[in-house]
Structure 1
Amino acid sequence: MLGRRGIAVTLGSLMLVGSALAWAPAGQAMTSEGGSVGCAGRSEGRYDPPLTLLPRPTHVHADVTYACTVTPGRTVSATASFDSDVPEASCVAVSGGRGTETVRYADGGRSLIVYDSATTVRVAGVLVVVQRGRVTEGRGQGHPAQRTVTGLPGELPTECLTSGLRGVSNAVELEIQP
């Protein structure tokens, strides 16, 4: 069980891992209206079929709410929809990094992002998934994108042993690079 100090050490470690995986400092990612965007928010994900201890093909869907900086000093809210078909998913591991995300900004803009790779790191129980891809339509078209999903430590849910884990809530960061 982690105490306050353990949680602080875990989150500090997570920040170091995240900074090592990042493409550019956040201040550089939000420089112009020409495509650079930095977002932070929360996702509510669902698994179909629910995750169990046995790996099987699974569809992952997440609804995301973001606060996005689209130019220095200008932040707009956004909602997003993420979908992926994972060839092998269980409560213990998820393989594959492909997926698509459609981001709809409150100012009327939109970005369609296709992710084609992912790196998964576990630090002191904290799961970090970094997905990389490219914006194929809308705001930031043609620019590289990086999506970082962070799952806080927890015990294996009892649902994994019975009916299956149907969903999860995570922190999400999105960067559309200049």
Structure 2
Amino acid sequence: MQKKLHHKFQTKLISYDQFMEYKLYDENDGYYSENNQELWGTDYMTSPMIHPAFGFLIAKYIYAVWISMNSPSTFSLIEIGGGNLNLTNDIFEGIQDLSPKFADLLNIVVIDRNFNNNLPRHKNIKLINSDNFNLKNITGVIISNELFDALPFKRLINKNDRFYEIFVNYCNDFQEQE
């Protein structure tokens, strides 16, 4: 990994967001890559992993929104950062229980960067890579769970009333550096 990062960035200093982008999303070595699926859900848990009740409560809300809009004949649920589809599947099952009619017309789109296309899902659920995201004129609801936790970000430090960006340095090991 260290050699790949060194080669990839051709410098000893890498901005923190670039480092995290690589560590999270590299096609082969990133945390969210298909090569590391065995790690998913082993180092942390989110509400959809604990119990389907979370998804059912969201399903009730989405159903109420559809009813409040006079039950349009086309309606979409878009989940940004849907990952392993736990939440999406729980929501869809909840909607099927609430209203089979609504479940039949519901168009579900899950947008994420890395998908395992073998994930079990209903035929109404479409997967879109975030690089190809271009949806327009949608009637429906957009949701996201834990998305901001998975975004690379800049890190700053304040010293003597001045802000400095934190970089990652490689010298036999990774170190933070101002």
Q: Identify whether the pair has TM-score above 0.5, normalized to the shorter chain.
A: no
Instruction: State TM-score, norm by structure 2.
Output: 0.24
Larger radius of gyration: 2
Which structure has greater strand proportion? 1
More helix by share: 2
TM-score of the aligned structures, taking structure 1 as reference length: 0.24
